[in-house]
Chains A and B, each alone.
Chain A
Amino acid sequence: GAGVSQSPSNKVTEKGKDVELRCDPISGHTALYWYRQSLGQGLEFLIYFQGNSAPDKSGLPSDRFSAERTGGSVSTLTIQRTQQEDSAVYLCASSFGQGTYEQYFGPGTRLTVT
């Protein structure tokens, strides 16, 4: 079956603009995760959804970042008033849910803020 998909694959935006990144998880996966991977760095946890709920938003770097998930499926990560330090690859992962461990990652969205 299809894996996790993310769109766009690449996004170049000007500083100060808003961007939306989309994640389509594997069908039936109730848990969804967003991570940020800066060049040559590890993955930084941003937010976790169980269904449509995000019980812990403490990983979001600032209030310019927000995320939502609708219908227990598609998720959108929004970055408002983008800054150059937001440039990174944003990765989404999904899993069957609590108690099931394996996360399946999408290919990521490479965001470049000029």
Chain B
Amino acid sequence: QQQVKQSPQSLIVQKGGISIINCAYENTAFDYFPWYQQFPGKGPALLIAIRPDVSEKKEGRFTISFNKSAKQFSLHIMDSQPGDSATYFCAASNSGFNKFYFGSGTKLNVKP
């Protein structure tokens, strides 16, 4: 059973637009939700993360929205740039941080 479901699989956005990627989870024991950015040939890099005690976290152009009751969280990239073109993964972990469950990834293409 997939613990974290991510959509869409791919996304095309015009430069300056808003990119939105969604994730849903089942396990209510999860309490840490990071987003990772991965460029081809590289390992993933942490972009932004949220704990369930807040509904939103913003860092620059990147915002996580978290809906605990719906067990959903999303990444919003404002003013998307061609340099943002990458694959994005959501993930979830419990408080022990001994196991992370990743979504299947979203390949974002920002067109100039």
Contact = CB atoms under 8 A, between A and B. Distances in A.
Interface residues of B, number: 23
A93 B109 CA distance: 26
Interface in A23-53: 31, 33, 35, 40-45, 48, 50
A99 B34 CA distance: 14
Contacts of A103: 46, 100
B49 interface: yes
A77 interface: no
Contacts of A91: 43-44
A43 B87 CA distance: 12
B46 A43 contact: no
Interface of B: 6, 32, 34, 36, 41-46, 49, 89, 91, 96-105
Given A42-B6, A98-B98, 18 more contacts: A33-B100, A35-B102, A42-B89, A42-B102, A42-B104, A42-B105, A43-B89, A43-B100, A45-B102, A48-B98, A50-B98, A55-B98, A91-B44, A98-B96, A102-B46, A105-B43, A105-B45, A107-B41
